[in-house]
Structure 1
Amino acid sequence: MSDYRPAATERPAPPIPPRLAAPAVDAHCHVDLLDVPVAEAVAAARAAGVERLVTVGYSVPSSQWCARVAEEHAEVVAAVAVHPNDAMDADADALGVIAELAALPQVRAVGETGLDYYWKRTDPAVQQEIFRRHIDIAKQLGKALVIHDRDAHADVLRILDEVGPPERTVFHCFSGDLAMAKMCVEKGYFLSFSGTVTFKNAPDVREAAAWTPLDAMLVETDAPFLTPMPYRGHRNGPYLVALTIRAIAALKGVPEEEVATRTAANALQVFGSW
């Protein structure tokens, strides 16, 4: 992956947590970056009660890899895109490949695409144009849209309003506040929460997660990044979505089974059955 993302730590992988009370889905991870065989990552996830994974592309090569792995492993489906921080690489040829991959049956979404103003690596105008093109691919093919939105909330929402969103739109690793969560839910978007909800420096995200209705929520790891507490700084894996589910259940004051069951059903609604 490009150097705008921090390297995953070399600290030992956290232990597999107790199995969830109901099957769950990791709605966003990068299996190609886990440094373990796919079968091993899937087995660890299943041991924690995480029975399905969405592996997400961020470049043409990673998207090709994700599509191939999703074809080979029944527990995995794929999303494909060029990440906004690499928007300058998304020429007509690259977007043509993304469109071809997105048409495959095991590829269920276009993403992660969107805007990232934090790293200041790519001209915002270029990012916005490439975001629009990804949205168009998703709409043409009837696939879900998985959005990367970092420090760009207003422009992401504006562009979705201007061009019209796909029928199923997901804000990956939701990073907005309560007001933004309410706007997104009103528009019918799904909010996907990661291990960030366990971080002490993310009170706005916790407030948004506590409020977001379960029927508008997904859960994810973004593995190998954003490892939930108490293992922040260690390498993340899809199996650790169990910790995020338990944290959300505690925020909402509901059983973990309810969070796992509802978010898994939402994932099937967004990405289709697998």
Structure 2
Amino acid sequence: MIWDTHAHLDDPRYREDFEQILANIKMAQISRVTNVGYDLPSSENSVELAHRYEFIYAAVGVHPHDVEGVSAKTWERLLQLAQDDKVIGWGEIGLDYYRDLSPRSIQKDIFIQQIELANQAGLPIIIHNRDAHEDLLKTIKEHPPQHGGVFHCYSGSWEMAKIVLNLGFYISFAGPLTFKNSRYAVEVAAKVPRDRFFVETDSPYLTPEPYRGKRNEPAYVREVVAKIAEIRKLDFEEVARQSFENASKLFKV
């Protein structure tokens, strides 16, 4: 029982060998994959995929890179999609001050709007946070999500993780946990409570060792599970089962 809680299977990089990617998921014994939207078209694609494949679930939302140009019609359509039985989260949403592809003031405003929309839809949020720790924490404290959420591909310190956990959020680990220079993530993976972590790939990005340099895919989430098992001195199966149960609890699946 392994759940890749964050992937982008509708990415064009899977177009030529999509059936092989699905076969790899099956061979790797991945039970569930959450396909996560980053704008309106990808959110629609996620819902379509979720209906084509029983093991795929969907999340809908607008990534901070793509917040310029959203309109009332965008929110209206996303709220329609959010009513679908296979939509389990609102995301990925948040702040990205590393690339700064959208003005920060707009990022903040749209992040707040999407928290409110997720509350309206009755969904947990999937948070993207890059180099925006202070503003992001301030936002979720002032505009708390009513149905919880997860910090995807967690990159912060243990000190920040304690704040995140105290606010009721889950923490998700991806490929960077396996990198040799991954000091912060390793510390957090060692200390996070057993009932508060997920695993993910963020496919096709952030490929874990030993596949680093190649296109990522959900089958490689096994490497993240294995790394957590190594760090916590647990069996692979125990880590896989616990992360699966944790995701099931938040996403109510």
Q: TM-score, normalised by structure 1?
A: 0.88
Q: Percent identity?
A: 38
Confirm or deny that 1:26 pairs with 2:4.
yes
Aligned residue for 2:14?
Answer: 35
Q: CA deviation at 1:38?
A: 5.0
Q: Is the contact made by 1:223 and 1:236 (CA closer than 8 Å) also made in structure 2? A: yes
Q: CA deviation at 1:206?
A: 1.2
Where 2:33 maps in the other structure, the secondary structure is strand
Confirm or deny that 1:180 pairs with 2:160.
yes
Q: Is the contact made by 1:215 and 1:263 (CA closer than 8 Å) also made in structure 2? A: yes
Aligned residue for 2:53?
Answer: 73
Match of residue 213, structure 2, among 233, 237, 246:
233
Distance in 2 between the 1:264 and 1:94 partners? 32
Distance in 2 between the 1:43 and 1:210 partners? 32
Q: Deviations over 1:99-142 (max 9, x none)?
A: 21112111111100000000011111100110011111111111
Q: CA deviation at 1:167?
A: 2.0
Confirm or deny that 1:141 pairs with 2:151.
no
Distance in 1 between the 2:118 and 2:238 partners? 30
Shift >6 Å, 4+ stretches: none
Where 1:192 maps in the other structure, the secondary structure is strand
Where 1:156 maps in the other structure, the secondary structure is helix
Q: Write the letter of the residue equivalent to 1:233.
A: G
Distance in 2 between the 1:38 and 1:67 partners? 17
Match of residue 112, structure 2, among 129, 132, 137:
132
Confirm or deny that 1:108 pairs with 2:77.
no
Confirm or deny that 1:263 pairs with 2:240.
no
Where 2:220 maps in the other structure, the secondary structure is helix
Aligned residue for 1:204?
Answer: 184
Where 1:79 maps in the other structure, the secondary structure is strand
Aligned residue for 1:92?
Answer: 72
CA RMSD between the two structures: 1.2
Q: 1:166 to 1:41 in 2, by over 3 A?
A: farther
Q: CA deviation at 1:42?
A: 3.1
Q: Which runs of 5+ in 2 are unaligned?
A: none
**Range with bigger deviation, 117-126 or 96-105:** 96-105
Higher relative contact order (CA 8 A, sep 6+): 1
Distance in 2 between the 1:175 and 1:91 partners? 31
Q: Which runs of 5+ in 1 are unaligned?
A: 1-22
Q: Write the letter of the residue equivalent to 1:96.
A: E
Distance in 1 between the 2:146 and 2:24 partners? 33
